[in-house]
Amino acid sequence: MTFLQPSLPSDEARTPCLDDAARRSIRALREHPDAPRWTYALGDRLEPADLDVVEGIRERLQAWPGATERPSAALLAALAGRACRTDALREQLRGLDLHDDFDAIPRSRRAALAAA
- As a whole number, the mean pLDDT across the chain is 82
pLDDT at 27: 86
Give which of 6, 18, 8 is closest to 46, Cα–Cα.
18
pLDDT tops 50 at residue 1: no
- Distance, in Å, from the CA atom of 76 to the CA atom of 65, rounded to the nearest integer, reads 20
Other CB atoms within 10 Å distance of the CB of residue 84 = 8
pLDDT classification of 43: cutoffs 50, 70, 90: confident
pLDDT band at 45 (very low <50, low <70, confident <90, very high): confident
Nearest Cα to 88, choosing from 70, 115, 67?
A: 115
Dist CA 96 CA 105 (whole Å): 7
User: At residue 114, what is the residue type?
Assistant: A
**What's the rounded Cα separation, in Å, for the pair 70 and 94?**
20
Q: Model pTM greater than 0.75?
A: no
pLDDT at 34 over 80: yes
For 67-114, how does the pLDDT look when each residue is reduced to its tens digit (9 = 90+)? 667 788 888 899 889 888 888 888 889 999 988 898 888 888 888 777
Q: Is the pLDDT of residue 4 over 70?
A: no
Beta carbons of 32 and 39 less than 8 angstroms apart: no
